[in-house]
Structure 1
Amino acid sequence: MKYQILLVAALLLTACNRDKAPEAGAEGLNAAATVVSDAANPVVDNPNVVSENELPNPNAPVMKFAEAEFDFGDIKPDSKVRHTFTFVNTGKSPLLIEDATASCGCTTPSWTKEPVAPGASGKMEVQFDSRGKQGIISKQVAVRANTQPGITTILIKGNVLDAATKTTNPL
């Protein structure tokens, strides 16, 4: 027990050491980021974020959804519902969706896999499975593409009816 307490204390003390300078060639999630430090205010340069003094790429693709949110209304229990979001590339170069991830395993996105030319449209279908769900739902889908910003979020919502009464669940 005594050794366990000493081990936990040692881990906490080393984990909280914020004065340690980053090592050259650091591995891990932040390996691409570089640290520019001024003693009082360290700044992390994230290559995925456009900085304030850097102009956005005027030739980048732009994903413009016809609607960013869809309400299914009442959803029957143990059913699957779908909605297709459409978007237009209003930018000046081809748009390519890299990935789309939902905030819950009950929500599944599928999308246009081919590059979407400037002025052309694409689709993002979102399916929601109400099995095991009840009441008000709100699920986000983060669409990662070669746009600026790199992530666009769309939303589905609805009300899954109570399986026993087939009516809305009072809050």
Structure 2
Amino acid sequence: MRIVAALAFLCLMVGCKPAMETKLNFSDVNTIDEILFEAKSSQQYTVLMVTNKTCDVCFYYKRTLTHMVKTKPDLFPVNATVTSVDARMDGNMWVNQIVREYAFPLFLIIDPSGNVRGVLKGGSAKDLVNVMSKIAAGSMYFSESKRPFLNIGKDTSQQLSTASKVAFVNDLFHVLSDFRTHGKVDSNENDRLVKSIQQQPYFLNKYLLSKSLYSSGLTDSAKAISNSIMKENFGELDAMLYQPYMTEVRFMADNSFDTTRQPLLVTAQTDMNFGNDVVNARKKLEVPVKNAGTEPLKIENVRVSCECLKVDWPKEPIAAGATKNIIVEYELKRTGPFSQHLFVFSNSPTLPLLININGNVTLH
């Protein structure tokens, strides 16, 4: 008892710090909504690590963090749990949608009170440790980039401070989180949306305000905003992030729009395997894609992850119910297993279709 009392007195005098703990959860089975719900009662930092099964860097990031935590359980200067989520899992794209970024890994750092304190894009495990140290010391963090804020080339966005960028993300984070939980936003959240649009208008904040106004019965105001969205350039990055919302935007802009009469791009083969072959061999595969909708399907573009992939796709519209082939050719120049990807952009009201291409190359 005397020893315990002495230790307690010593801690009181010199100020003992409680041991910090860094926990990792890389199961990728939870949605962001589930993680945030559990985090409300944790009283610790939550680090969302948004990954993608096509992201090789994410795998090494997880492995490095796991090793670092094993050797140093108090890796961060605060109690924190790093939880990875798969962006392709339903409901897990909305962090990417907020920052208008289709890149992985993407980290969102949330403090015990539920506010966003930092956004880290890519980097290394050591970068995450450094960022957590800065945030623990009272700073905010937003990854530096040569590209403008939200990848929108506006002078106003380039002049935003780190604190302004994080505050912008935090406002939309709360709006979208509440919207996903309750199906609507209150007047305070509407004010946040208006402020966000005044600071930097883009698809997500305009869509959310339009949807909020529409659900409140202010259909004319919602129509005006939706029409302004329709007039803007909707590029491939927007398609990767917001394509499923476009049906609602079209309907809010024109209530006569029939949401049931649309094309729908589907395929039974999202994972293709070239098998084994030797260096410099050329392999060719056909990827059947079907229009399961009711209107003509137009494949607008097919993006590849590597110049080693050559693709050809139907340039004419695919009739409802019809199936056509995307031709994929791979020139095998390196030995070992390979994994590449195709993104098929179309007028289907779904995210661009992801097709994984795998195989193995040998010398003989």
TM superposition score category, shorter chain reference: 0.5 to 0.7
Structure 1 counterpart of 2:360? 159
Structure 2 counterpart of 1:4? none
Structure 2 counterpart of 1:138? 339
Among 78, 94, 101, the alignment partner of 2:303 is 101
Among 246, 271, 274, the alignment partner of 1:69 is 271
Structure 1 counterpart of 2:189? none
Give, in whole Å, the separation in 1 of the partners of 2:302 and 2:294. Answer: 22
Q: Secondary structure at the match of 2:357?
A: strand
Query: Are 1:123 and 2:123 counterparts?
Result: no
Trace 1:37-48 onto structure 2 (pairs within 5 A).
48=243
Task: Kindly provide the CA deviation profile for residues 92-145 of structure 1, in whole angstroms up to 9, marking residues without a partner as x.
Answer: 0000001111111211221000000112221101111212x2211111101011
Structure 1 counterpart of 2:259? 57
Among 288, 292, 306, the alignment partner of 1:86 is 288
Unaligned runs of 5+ in 2: 1-157, 169-194, 210-228, 230-240, 252-257
Give, in whole Å, the separation in 1 of the partners of 2:266 and 2:204. Answer: 30
Contact 2:196 / 2:205 at 8 angstroms: preserved in 1? no
AA aligned opposite 1:94: P
Give, in whole Å, the separation in 2 of the partners of 1:48 and 1:149. Answer: 6
Contact 1:77 / 1:160 at 8 angstroms: preserved in 2? yes
Among 297, 305, 313, the alignment partner of 1:111 is 313
Structure 1 residue 69 displacement after superposition: 1.9
The structure richer in strand per residue is 1
Task: Kindly provide the CA deviation profile for residues 5-33 of structure 1, in whole angstroms up to 9, marking residues without a partner as x.
Answer: xxxxxx9x924423475574958xx4785
Structure 1 residue 47 displacement after superposition: 5.4
* Structure number with higher relative contact order (C-alpha < 8 Å, ≥ 6 residues apart): 1
Identity fraction in percent: 22
Q: Secondary structure at the match of 1:104?
A: coil
Contact 2:341 / 2:356 at 8 angstroms: preserved in 1? yes
Q: Secondary structure at the match of 1:149?
A: coil
Give, in whole Å, the separation in 2 of the partners of 1:47 and 1:151. Answer: 10
Q: Alignment length, in residue pairs?
A: 142
Give, in whole Å, the separation in 1 of the partners of 2:343 and 2:310. Answer: 11
AA aligned opposite 1:49: P
Give, in whole Å, the separation in 1 of the partners of 2:269 and 2:308. Answer: 21
Alignment RMSD (CA, Å): 3.5
Structure 1 residues 24 and 157: CA distance shift in structure 2, 3 A: same
Among 325, 334, 348, the alignment partner of 1:147 is 348
Structure 1 counterpart of 2:161? 14
Contact 1:69 / 1:154 at 8 angstroms: preserved in 2? yes
The structure richer in helix per residue is 2
Q: Secondary structure at the match of 2:316?
A: coil
Contact 2:197 / 2:205 at 8 angstroms: preserved in 1? no
Q: Secondary structure at the match of 1:50?
A: helix
